[in-house]
Amino acid sequence: MAKIDNEIQYKWAVNRVEELLPLVDDGTPLNDPNSVELELLSNLVADYSEEHFALGTPALVDVLKLRMYEMGLNQKTLSKLIGVSPSRVSEYLTSKSEPTLSVARNISQKLNVNPAIVLGV
């Protein structure tokens, strides 16, 4: 099988991967038939999943809200952290404004957010 073409093949491959997982561990030789099959099927499943179930790039608003939640930040503390006013943070969170390049750099570095998400590219 060079490519998974449909959902039936995908479901079969996922089930087979689940069957193979208990049979292969870090100590299994790479040329072991189960290891080879697991590697091939895993790659095929990943390719199909990426093509058919991709989530896309998240919006800055969603990432900011998630990082605020994860880090226990409110708008005021976030504004101090990235060097803008609380009202500017509010504008970012409602998509009324986009960060400047220097603020985008602060967001990326201080919140550990991928620069491409911050810049919307």
Structural contact between residues 85 and 79, judged by C-beta atoms closer than 8 angstroms: yes
Per-residue model confidence (pLDDT) at position 78: 96
The predicted-structure confidence for 70-89, as pLDDT tens digits, reads as follows 999 999 999 999 999 999 99
> What are the domain boundaries of the chain?
7-53, 60-119
Q: Determine whether domain 60-119 maps to CATH 2.60.200.20.
A: no
Query: What's the predicted TM-score (pTM) here?
Result: 0.56
Task: Give the 3-state secondary structure of residue 59.
Answer: coil
| HEC sequence for 79-108 | HHHHCCCHHHHHHHHCCCCCCCHHHHHHHH
Measured CA to CA, the distance from residue 32 to residue 67 in angstroms comes to 43
Per-residue model confidence (pLDDT) at position 24: 92
Mean pLDDT by 10 residues, the chain (121 residues): 90 95 91 94 93 84 94 95 95 92 94 88 69
Phi first, then psi: what are they for 94, rounded to 5°? -110, 10
Per-residue model confidence (pLDDT) at position 117: 87
Per-residue model confidence (pLDDT) at position 116: 87
Per-residue model confidence (pLDDT) at position 35: 94
